[in-house]
Amino acid sequence: MHISDRYFARGREFLGTEVPILCGGMTWISDAQLVAAVANAGGFGCLAGGNAPADILAAEIERTRVLTDRSFAVNLVTIAPAFPEQLDVLVQLKPRYVVFAGSFPNARQIALVKEQGAKVMCFASTLSIAKRMVRYGADALVLEGMEAGGHVGHVSLAVLLQQVLFEVEDVPVFVAGGISTGRMCAHMFLMGAAGVQLGTRFAVATESCAHPAFKEKFRKANARDAVSTPQFDSRLPVVAVRALRNGGLDEFARLQLDLIAKLDAGELHREEAQMEVERFWMGALRRAVRDGDVAQGSLMAGQSVGLVNREESVGEIIADLRAGIESTLQDVRAKLLG
């Protein structure tokens, strides 16, 4: 028996997997092929809903079920324009796990998918939000530090661990943001995490559908190249996005200024402006991931991109993480025993 089995127990039981290692729901990347590969390798994949039309999302769920008979989740972005229609798809297809991302779901939305038999995972950026999500019915929480890629909050994982992980015991808590090595994962388990979620390292996996030019940018990037977007005006509250610096980030800055000018002129409402922001990110990300437009597309990446320097298969990634976790826990055990 491996020492890691003891630390994997809670996450394994909740997820129904060999190892509580999650591949995050990355729009345009976490498709059926990648999710199934993660599941078949013993991990837990999150199928990204993004802003996919209802029929496309339904087809991806069914395709994932053909490629694997193991556990996986469907990740929905609550601020995506297609979110209401996507919820209807979940009611029809009844996935076993649902992850709400982007913002925080309300009690009705959580209850809706739980009534179909799903286990619900929600993100939490503060202790009060964590308690609210549990009160609404969340079966597990995900703490994602600002080091992560894509839509992010403003607090580092180191602080979230102390604010939330150390305070919440009634549901499993999974952690994410800046995690890329087995050694780091081991220390998350030692601190009480039920599991760990990675995104950036899986984005360049062999099974990832990302364009070769997109993967090459990741392999050559440093941690400091992955920057978070600013908010220019409180009337246009935008969720920060972490991505590699390129022309796409400059274009987003110009879009915000243009939308603020239209708000000033009364040419559109705040909700419409926010929708324009999300449409921009969905389209820019697609251009980078699928078309290889690394100059103007969105290269959403976590700061752990500085630790990614080669393309590996999903199986190799999970095997490496497991080995690193086990060896680190053995080292800690030896030190504690003198």
Question: Who contacts 140 (Cβ-Cβ below 8 Å, separation ≥6)?
Answer: 14, 119, 120, 121, 122, 171, 172, 173, 174, 194
Question: Who contacts 102 (Cβ-Cβ below 8 Å, separation ≥6)?
Answer: 76, 77, 78, 79, 80, 151, 239
Per-residue confidence band for 278, with pLDDT thresholds at 50, 70 and 90 = confident
Euclidean distance between CA atoms 207 and 77, whole angstroms: 23
For the chain, the average pLDDT equals: 95
Candidate ranges 220-234, 267-281, 292-306; pick with highest mean pLDDT: 292-306
State pLDDT tens for residues 14-36: 999 999 999 999 999 999 999 99
Query: How high is the pLDDT of residue 273?
Result: 84
0.75 exceeded by pTM: yes
Domains of the chain: 3-210+307-336 (3.20.20.70), 217-289 (no CATH)
Query: How high is the pLDDT of residue 230?
Result: 83
State pLDDT tens for residues 172-216: 999 999 999 999 999 999 999 999 999 999 999 999 999 999 999
Euclidean distance between CA atoms 145 and 244, whole angstroms: 17
Could you tell me if 268 and 295 are in contact, meaning their C-beta atoms sit under 8 angstroms apart? Answer: no
How many CA atoms are closer than 13 Å to the CA of 207, on its beta-carbon side?
22
State pLDDT tens for residues 95-152: 999 999 988 999 999 999 999 999 999 999 899 999 999 999 999 999 999 999 998 8
Region of residue 53 (phi > 0: left; psi between -120 and 50: alpha; otherwise: beta): beta
Per-residue confidence band for 234, with pLDDT thresholds at 50, 70 and 90 = confident
CA 115 to chain centre: 24
State pLDDT tens for residues 139-184: 999 999 999 999 888 899 999 999 999 999 999 999 999 999 999 9
pLDDT over threshold 90, residue 327: yes
State pLDDT tens for residues 282-307: 888 899 999 999 999 999 999 999 99
Euclidean distance between CA atoms 3 and 60, whole angstroms: 37
Euclidean distance between CA atoms 75 and 30, whole angstroms: 9
Candidate ranges 4-13, 74-83, 253-262, 282-291; pick with highest mean pLDDT: 4-13
